[in-house]
Chains A and B, each alone.
Chain A
Amino acid sequence: MTDVPPGYFLALAGLMFTIGVIGVLVRRNAIVLFMFIELMLNAVNLVFVTFARMKGNIDGQVLVFFVLVVAAAEVVVGLAIIMLIARRRASANVDDVRLLKW
């Protein structure tokens, strides 16, 4: 297996993360937002794995597992909330849910 330079991985991760950020900022559908958040998380995971490989230890990989687990938990809770909101409002638009303000 030829060595791909770490820079490539990091660039890819940066690209994914940026897409994720822009997505979160411009889209309004809660489900889509979720997907973008997952994209960002995975970008971070990629960074972790990259560095774990670079440094030759497994700390980064361990952290990836944590991120995965937390992300899964988050999705469970988040989707449940989205489901409940969708049931009440018949929409998944986050701008409709702006009760928590001043």
Chain B
Amino acid sequence: MTTDAVLAPFIIGLPLAGAVILLLFGKRMGRVAGVIGSATVGVAFILGVISFFSLLSRPEEERAVSRHLFEWITAGSFQAGVDLLVDQLSIVMVLVVTGVGALIHVYSIGYMHGDERYPRFFAYLNLFVAFMLVLVLADNLLLLYVGWEGVGLCSYLLIGFWFERRAAANAAKKAFIVNRIGDFSFLLGILLLAFTVGSLTIGGVNSAAAGELTAGTATVAALLLFGGATGKSAQIPLYVWLPDAMEGPTPVSALIHAATMVTAGVYMVVRFSPVFEASGGTALAVVAWVGAITALWAALMACAEYDIKRVLAYSTISQLGYMFLAAGVGAYSAGMFHLVTHAFFKALMFLGAGAVMHALAGEVDMRKMGGLRKAMPVVGLTFLAGVLAISGVAPFAGFFSKDSILASAWFEDQYALWGIAVFTTLLTAFYMARLFFRVFEGDLKVPEGAHPHDAPRSMAAALVPLAVLAVIGGVINLPRLVTLEHFLEPVVGESHVPTGLTPWVLGGIALLVGIAGILIARAFYTTTAGATRRQRLQRLAPWFVTAVRNKFFVDRIYGRGIVLPGKALASFSSSVLDTKVIDGVVNGVAWLIGRGAEEGRHVQTGYVRNYAVITLLGVVVLVGILFLRIGVA
């Protein structure tokens, strides 16, 4: 057996073991817990790197190794095993998950320092990494679903980590339930594929999709799977949980709600791209359009948000939209590319925001901040790298990945999608620059009693490498070199961005739009005149400003339109159907019998003669019947 396949169970097993050990014995460990937690993920990363090179050392067509561990669910002809698949796609995900994960673990040592449930935090983080690895390494859809719901569970645990806060407890519950709605769809997709394909292995499903699966079935299956992705990856209509999820500790937001878990949907779509392809355009169009509209929608909301973490959350939703857009136009490797770079720069920015909160006693409102760059230069500089990367400024990582998505949309003749995406780029650059200018530039402004200080060493140790990656991450897919695109080709198929002048022009447009966004933000937020300009602009369309500030009323619509009627129906069932109707019948029967007896007992007069008369009458009746039956002879 080859190294990569041998290592795969250990890559999952290490963080899992870490989680179990920390859950059981963490209490007595104190600070060591953080080190153990980071070490397991770090070693898993090293194993991932070894597997990666072992994979590279092989001829291209043999770079997918599957390993059967044991049988899981077997009933009749249905079979699902615990099988792991190491191939180009999963190894990329493994590297991102363990790499970024390890950095965030290290960061958490400093960030969570002094929390009373410190060991528990690392246990949950480790558990999350383990489930995420199950998700990406699974060789069948059902095992993937284990990871899929497992990361949802960890997300629930970590969002609700500070469960004493009502908001955190509510956000955790909301995240799990909204995800369950997506999972409902996902599960139906699994059932459909299990039925039509008869096997849930990735190879089996994908080869069936390329062969016997009809377009109709494939469309339904793809859309059901995508329904799951809209939950996990926070797309319209199920994105509502992600902004609330910011109630969790910031490293959680960085790891789960930016870099890894939320990208699971993208990974899944790319993984089962043949199914989406087999639907003959419909499913992919839905994916692309949902992605594009979500990107725009979330970017608009990010522009009006004052909570720095929520800005980043909306930004994440928006960037995930880009990834789906890429997948939807068939540019899977572009989507994966953006997934990787996004993991770098968004984790970086979340960690930076965490450092700011750490320094300002947990403050998240950007209106109460300003000029922090001088007080915390490392955080300020690294955050700037992230802002430039996400805005698509060359040569930062985000430029390359976003550009390849835009170019793919253009060359697939999806000009409308391209237009939306370009406009969203403008918004993206604007809201990120807005955040940066308000928080880090201008005069020093901090909430009362806060003493801003730069990030402690353990936090800086995560920020700096991520900043470097955000700057140079683009090299993994520089055109016409040994690239991610080329590496992924055997899994996702060839991508076809043509050469010539057009790509350069498109790249230039994206770059200019990004810079324009930054400049607009600068005009609005760095000068005193900017404030009046903002007010003037807001007066142009007050209703729009209100709508954006209220997040387009979506939460309220869901609350009033679905949750309330649902609860009312349940209450009706409980208090009327159950207690009045069904129990009413039951108790009614009992009451009738009781009343009947109550009335009937008056027959018992106590007079012997009455009883005798009744007896006599009875005899007469009986004899009468007898005579009638036999007939008087």
Contact = CB atoms under 8 A, between A and B. Distances in A.
Nearest to B607: A98
B75 interface: no
A46 to B, nearest CB: 18
B601 interface: yes
Contacts of A102: 601-604
Interface string B606-632: 111100110010000000000000000
A100 interface: yes
A1 interface: no
Nearest to B619: A21
B535 interface: no
B contacts with A: majority SS: helix
Interface in A56-91: none
A87 to B, nearest CB: 19
Interface string B582-614: 000000000000000000011111111100110
Nearest to B613: A25
A100 B616 contact: no
B52 to A, nearest CB: 92
Nearest to A24: B612
B609 A98 contact: no
B617 to A, nearest CB: 11
A99 B606 contact: yes
A33 B608 contact: yes
Contacts of A98: 605-607
A11 interface: no
B564 to A, nearest CB: 53
Contacts of B601: 102
Interface in A18-55: 21, 24-25, 28, 33
Which of B602, B605, B609 has the most A CB atoms < 10 Å from its CB? B609
A21 to B, nearest CB: 6
A101 B610 CA distance: 12
Contacts of A97: 606
Contacts of A3: none
Contacts, number: 28
Nearest to B612: A24
Nearest to B603: A102
A12 interface: no
A82 to B, nearest CB: 12
B504 to A, nearest CB: 105
Contact of B604 (A33, A94, A101): A101
B66 to A, nearest CB: 83
A100 B604 contact: yes
A6 to B, nearest CB: 15
Nearest to B597: A102
A21 B604 contact: no
Contacts of B606: 97-101
Which of A24, A28, A97, A99 has the most B CB atoms < 10 Å from its CB? A24
A101 B609 contact: no
A101 B607 CA distance: 8
Nearest to B602: A102
Contacts of B613: 25
A17 to B, nearest CB: 11
B616 A95 contact: no
A21 B604 CA distance: 20
Interface in B528-575: none
B608 A94 contact: yes
A102 B603 CA distance: 8
Contacts of A100: 604, 606
Nearest to B601: A102
A25 B607 contact: no
Contacts of B609: 24-25, 28, 94
Contacts of B605: 98, 101
Interface string B279-319: 00000000000000000000000000000000000000000
A9 B388 CA distance: 127
Nearest to B609: A25
Contacts of A95: 607
Given A102-B601, A102-B602, A21 B608 contact: no
A40 B629 CA distance: 26
A25 B606 CA distance: 14
A97 B613 CA distance: 17
Contacts of B604: 100-102
Nearest to A94: B608
Contacts of B608: 33, 94
Which of B601, B605, B606 has the most A CB atoms < 10 Å from its CB? B606
Contacts of B607: 94-95, 98
A95 B604 CA distance: 14
A28 B603 CA distance: 20
A33 B613 CA distance: 14
A85 B317 CA distance: 95
Contacts of A99: 606
A95 B606 CA distance: 8
A102 B616 CA distance: 21
Nearest to B600: A102
Contacts of A33: 608
A21 B607 CA distance: 16
Nearest to A99: B606
Contacts of B602: 102
A95 B603 CA distance: 16
Contacts of A28: 609
Contacts of B603: 102
A99 B601 CA distance: 14
A21 B619 CA distance: 12
B402 to A, nearest CB: 91
Given A94-B607, A99-B606, A101-B606, 13 more contacts: A21-B612, A21-B616, A25-B613, A28-B609, A94-B608, A95-B607, A97-B606, A98-B605, A98-B607, A100-B604, A100-B606, A101-B604, A102-B601
Interface of B: 601-609, 612-613, 616
5 contacts: A25-B612, A25-B613, A95-B607, A100-B606, A102-B602
Interface of A: 21, 24-25, 28, 33, 94-95, 97-102
List the 10 shortest-distance A-B pairs measured between CB atoms, nearest first.
A98-B606, A101-B606, A102-B601, A101-B604, A94-B608, A102-B604, A24-B612, A102-B602, A100-B606, A101-B605
